[in-house]
Structure 1
């Protein structure tokens, strides 16, 4: 089912590894040609373009773009009590973890009379995107809203695609479970819009009869390739968290691991999308065979077996055989997975040596599924190898650092000659003159 890449006995450079390892094809640049006219239409025609896009892409025209308060309330009232309890626990744990991420302002006394304060200021308004295609993601509401609220963002709006097939009373609105999650979090500004058009709607803002959606400063949240392309196109007009690609799981395992657990975890991410990547890195060919046998049994009885089978057999997935765990670490650090599980005899020690991953799950009792819902960590994570330079969504994603500079005359005099010297060295004499205008003795 999964292809095998045998790296045993080979010494590969980082460049070699990045070329050899499986990776999903995700050509955002090509998708720009599709999303550009969609975004331009939203910029020019506003709400009417959003209604037309919903009919075209989602197969349904919402009654209004902004979901009425009574529909959100009805969704919460109709929510299965067990799902409500699970969402409330997910929210509680996420708040615990994200509360510790809030930065405090710092003051540095550079000299007597000269200091620099770094203030951490939330963005004014955010648009949070929640997918609604192959699956429904109320958990993504939690993962986006909680850090924004703890960052003290003043205005939070959520967008999710309108549903053509939904329970009675919810056709044309985002999925009721998503609406219920918004209600639990106190978010009342929710829009029935999906895809690239939702990103454009947030970026440009729009009027819909007597309702106004003001432009946002930042758009966050996962989505398909068209959402990613719209983020790339509109970056600059808005801030973005990342251009999220298909989900990924990499598992580093040795012979001590449980093959059933590993197989179940590979399937858990493969069921997201036919392009989802599931990669097993192991120093034991016998263990790899055991996982393959477990996959064959489990895929046959999983609900989304066609989607899972496509993902596992695709070029983005596979088994990588290595000489030892140290070589496996080199592989997973080069791969920089969105989710990385460590299933080795000394999992905590190995995990401590991971440098590149969106999130690391240590040992057999911390599967990725836990992080997707209730670990307290955030599941909006970098994909496509972006974990080598980027982090997952956090409170910090919604904050900006602003330096506030305060110097008195004596403090400026102390350093002024250095400023003048550097300004002249850069052939920017006006910079130096701004100092001399205040301190003529430095002429």
Structure 2
């Protein structure tokens, strides 16, 4: 018999905490990336120095298998798609179609501004040349993460991309066949059987495969992973770009008495299913709803496959219920918390959602659960965690684009502003800057 689940409670009723106080009072988990840097640094350095050989050695140690080559043969990609469960293929096709529709509208266009007659500045958007897309293994299989990483890269016009995913012992050293099938379905031709910190390092430095073929380094790495993947991304940042340092997944639900406690409980459980460190937070002005959600959690856990994992996550310091006076205070709480996933289950949910300033993604009303966004909404599920939604965005087409300013001035346009350039250069004690302009119009002694 399952014991009763009661989320820990933070009672903010009758209080007006500052934003700083809210950030410390709210449930928050997370991981200490610094604590594993000393373990990951030698791995990154080994792959830097010895390439794929070192990466394969770490794979043998941590994954228990050594693939015949880092690069997955093309025929294995084709076979994985041919053998894919038709229902899973149909679901992936829907997910790909909807994700492509949404991300196609994100592509920016070049903009030229005429500052003065003869003087223009163009903002030109150029895709990153080569990207590495990481798809984790671990507790689950994530073909949806293949979709979420690949589609925006393709929509941005990236020329070359590689998907990296851990080799699986039960599949002969290849990544999970559903991962391979999803990659093939998306038209990806290059998949590497390498995971963990060694994958990030190999993507960053490149190397030589077991057959002598080049494994070309990338310019940008995206995709979530565990603490060791995150640490490697931190160590390689600068050599390559990264999307973010992803932490454990999290959901916050802002709900009032109109919310269905069964729906709320199911959604909290769905995120707790990911990881024992996953955060599930309810923010409500209704103590009655909070009690009903606890009861619904207890009832639903008897039906959950990963009940032990879910129970651990719900009991962790990262999860809980926050009681507030009203929805206005609730909005202050969720904006301070800045959840990766935020559900609004209130009366006038759309109006409430419009007042949210900080969230990775917002799910509005009773029929937009987070799991819809994980798979088939068309939105992207690679989102900022650990409060980073206050300043960062989720994965999108923009992640794979660089804005380049192109400056074009005629002789007369430069001459017209030359005096101002010289004045500012002198004010900054950088006279050679001014001379670079004067040299075009007068002899320099």
Q: TM-score when scaled to structure 1? A: 0.98
Matched, 1:70 2:75: yes
Residue 18 of structure 2 corresponds to which residue in structure 1? Answer: 13
Matched residue SS, 1:74: helix
* Alignment correspondent of 1:106: 111
Match of 1:84 in 2: 89
Moved more, 378-387 or 53-62: 53-62
SS of the aligned residue for 1:353 comes to coil
Aligned to 1:207: 208
- State the distance in 1 between where 2:358 and 2:177 align: 36
Aligned residue for 1:219, secondary structure, equals: strand
Uncovered stretches (5+) of structure 1, i.e. residues with no partner = none
Equivalent residue number for residue 115 of structure 1: 120
Maintained 8 Å contact 1:417/1:442: no
What's the offset of the Cα at 1:63? 1.4
Q: Spell out, residue by residue over 1:10-35, the C-alpha distance to the aligned partner (whole angstroms, 9 max, x if none).
A: 11000000011111131111121111
Q: Which moves more between the two structures, 433-442 or 421-430?
A: 433-442
User: How many Å separate the matches in 1 of 2:128 and 2:102?
Assistant: 21
Correspondence for 2:148:
143
Q: Distance in 2 between matches of 1:340 and 1:302?
A: 22
Per the alignment, in what secondary structure is the counterpart of residue 366 of structure 1? coil
Which residue does 2:60 correspond to in 1? 55
CA–CA distance in structure 2, aligned partners of residues 11 and 182 of structure 1: 50
- Give the CA deviation at 1:301: 1.8
The 5-angstrom pairing of residues 174-189 of structure 1 reads 174-189=175-190
Kept in 2: contact 1:38–1:196 (CA 8 A): yes
Equivalent residue number for residue 325 of structure 1: 327
Task: Specify whether residues 73 and 325 from structure 1 end up closer, same or farther in structure 2 by C-alpha distance, changes over 3 A only.
Answer: same
Report the Cα distance in structure 2 between the residues aligned to 1:299 and 1:248, rounded to whole angstroms: 19
Q: Secondary structure at the match of 1:440?
A: coil
Matched, 1:366 2:371: no
Where 2:333 maps in the other structure, the secondary structure is helix
- The count of residues paired between Structure 1 and Structure 2 equals 439
For the pair 1:309 / 2:314, whether they are aligned, the reply is no
**CA drift at 1:442:** 11
**Contact preservation (8 Å) 1:416, 1:442:** no
SS in 2 for 1:302: coil
Deviation at 1:47, TM superposition (A): 1.1
**2-structure distance, mates of 1:359, 1:265:** 15
| Residues 1:29 and 2:34 aligned together | yes
- For the 8 Å contact 1:333–1:356, the answer to whether it is kept is yes
Secondary structure at the aligned position of 1:157 is classed as strand
CA RMSD across the alignment: 1.0
> Is the counterpart of residue 43 in structure 1 residue 44 in structure 2?
no
Per-residue CA distance 1:93-121 (angstroms, 9 max, x = gap): 00000000000000000001100011000
> Match of 2:441?
439
4+ residue segments displaced more than 3 Å: none
Secondary structure, counterpart of 1:301 in structure 2 = coil
The answer on 1:162 being equivalent to 2:182 is no
Correspondence list, 1:396-411, <5 A:
396-411=398-413
Equivalent position to 2:349, from 338, 347, 350: 347
Which of residues 272, 296, 315 is equivalent to 1:294?
296
C-alpha distance in 2 between matches for 1:442 and 1:383? 56
Secondary structure at the aligned position of 2:394 is classed as: coil
